[in-house]
Amino acid sequence: MNFRIVVLWASLVLAAHGAEKPTEPELSSVTTPLMAVDAQLHAAIKEYIGLRTDKEGLVYLTVGKGADLEAAAQMARDAWMKAASPDEAEHLPNFDFNVVPVGADQLNSAFQAMRDVLTLEDVASLDLDEACGCLNVGVVNDSAIARVAEYAAKRRIAKEWLRIAITPPIIRTLTLRDEYRPNFGGIQIQNKAQASCTLGLPVYSFSRQSYGFLTASHCTEGPQGAMLGTGFYQAGGKLFGTDWIGDEVLDLALFTSATDSACPAGRMCRRSDTAFGEYRNSQHYMVGRVMRPTAACVTAGGSCTLSVARATDDIRMVGGISGLFTGTSVDKVGRTSGWTRGAITSTCTNINVFALGPTGAPFDTGITILCQYTVATTALPGDSGSPVFEFDAARGNGLFAGILWGGAIGGSSMVFSPINQIDSELGSFVYNQKGVASPFMTNGFFYTGDPNDELKVEYFPNAVPSGEIAIELVAGPNVAHIKEIVLAEGAAAGTGRWPITVDNFVRSNRDGLYLYQLPGGRLEFRKQIGGGVFEVSRVPIDAIPGGTKVTFTWLTD
């Protein structure tokens, strides 16, 4: 069957950036009078905790009991005047005191003890608040207050040292159109003309023996298949620096019936609308990973959210799949319409490609793409290149099926090139992620969303009672900083979260869950980065069988 399909390409064209990289201004260290006051008091007064100012310019100094207030006030005035400019010296503030029952050392120790309160459900923030001389825990709703109070009590944090307040959650403003390093499938890419498409999937090419990514062939510059070495950019189309992620190195020219009888007479054909771009930087890729937006949609023709909760949230491809049937549900993630899902409506269909003219009327391009799949889900301009995959909700991973390149006018369907057609033109690829994936039923290695992380996985069936699972975390010989796996039970069971932590002193630790806690539950992998502990991956645990113990040995710092 032949379908009239509009090719999906750039949704916007912007003015080109200049070729020269702008010079960055030099930065110098600036010390304000208030900074000088704070530094001086920290150095000289052990009871000093911090300061705050009010609208009238009054400065409140927070100190523990026993501080010499007169000496502190004079020291503050002296420090201000020494650091102040002549104009600032004329506005010497009044210094007042907030005396609290906890000392600075005690409060700092309490803050360290409360670090993992941030792993509790609905906890938004943890602050050593210099204004109140207390620990301020922000929670999203009332239900979290009791959990925080219980957590603090177990760590012997005095009630008067703690404040728990309702506060809006802090979110990162990430979308599929932002910059990600390393790259994932489903994010925006552009060519030099700043035509927007979607990065399909990071892969390894056997024919090129190199790492790169798949996208739609028509997203390259010049006539389709012309192989002009199109450069691809990410996040805003800057034409320099790390924004330049790769170059077109594998593409095929269109052919006619003179060379392949499968092509209709008088038309130009391809077996896939797919090209391979080679990465310029080895830190850009993580093979077989697709960015995971916060929600998926199933209504054809409508856009879904482009928001991403965490830059490490991904859908991992555990293999490739071809020969899918009509009625099979497949997903795609695209930079315009997000994460959408629908049933395959036709298989191995030869499709004539149409485009929209200046008046908005469709016209036939004379190109036919052979043996393509159509799906009842949304595809909009800019989604070209999107990864298409069969999604496993219980495991949170997928089987890569192909590359989206078009859809019906109005966005009510999408068309994709299946992997067997891609391989027939560009050679074979590694589509699946490196290492093992959830539900961790084989030995191997697991890799987080941080390219520097490697964890050895050991799977032990029948190691614990059949109604339980056990998770063990071991610090490898080269690991000195904090590493964690948080066990988060599914919502139907409750809101429990149990961190398993190792560091330079505690070298192994373990905990477990009952089977009723697994549906909807997850493992959150966290690590110390600088002064904080941050999540680097999360995976579902629904499918881990009862009686299993999984040991993770974190090998790299």
Helices 69-83 and 33-44 pack at an angle, to 10 degrees, of 140
The whole-number pLDDT of residue 507 equals 95
Tokens linked to 53: 């100012």
The whole-number pLDDT of residue 400 equals 94
Q: How many CB atoms lie within 10 A of CB 433?
A: 24
Distance from C-alpha of 13 to C-alpha of 324, rounded to nearest angstrom:
36
Amino acid, single-letter form, for residue 58: L
Share in percent of the chain as helix, strand, coil (round to 5): 15, 40, 45
The alpha-helical segments, DSSP class H, found in 65-103 are 69-83, 86-89
Helix (H, G, I), strand (E, B) or coil at 40: helix
Distance from C-alpha of 102 to C-alpha of 161, rounded to nearest angstrom:
7
Which residues lie across from 343 on neighbouring strands? 329
Q: Report the relative pairing of strands 59-64 and 95-100 from DSSP bridges.
A: parallel
Task: Look up residue 433 and give its DSSP letter.
Answer: P
Q: How many CB atoms lie within 10 A of CB 244?
A: 18
| pLDDT digit string, tens, across residues 31-77 | 578 878 989 998 999 999 888 777 677 888 999 888 999 999 999 99
pTM assigned to the model: 0.67
**List of residues 6+ apart from 74 with CB closer than 8 A:** none
The whole-number pLDDT of residue 28 equals 35
DSSP symbols for 449-497: SSTT--EEEEEETTSS-TTEEEEEEEE-TT--S-EEEEEE--TTT---E
**pLDDT one digit per residue (tens) for the chain, 557 residues:** 333 344 443 332 222 223 333 233 333 334 578 878 989 998 999 999 888 777 677 888 999 888 999 999 999 999 989 988 887 888 898 899 989 888 888 888 998 888 787 778 777 667 777 778 888 787 768 888 999 899 999 999 988 889 888 754 432 223 345 555 667 878 888 887 767 889 889 999 999 999 999 999 988 888 888 888 888 887 654 555 567 888 999 999 999 999 998 888 888 899 999 999 998 876 666 889 998 999 998 888 777 888 888 888 899 998 898 888 888 899 999 988 999 999 888 888 888 888 777 877 777 888 888 888 889 998 888 899 999 999 998 889 999 999 999 888 778 888 899 999 999 999 999 998 888 888 898 999 999 888 788 999 999 999 999 999 999 999 999 999 999 999 999 999 999 999 999 999 999 999 999 999 999 999 999 999 888 888 989 999 999 999 999 999 999 98
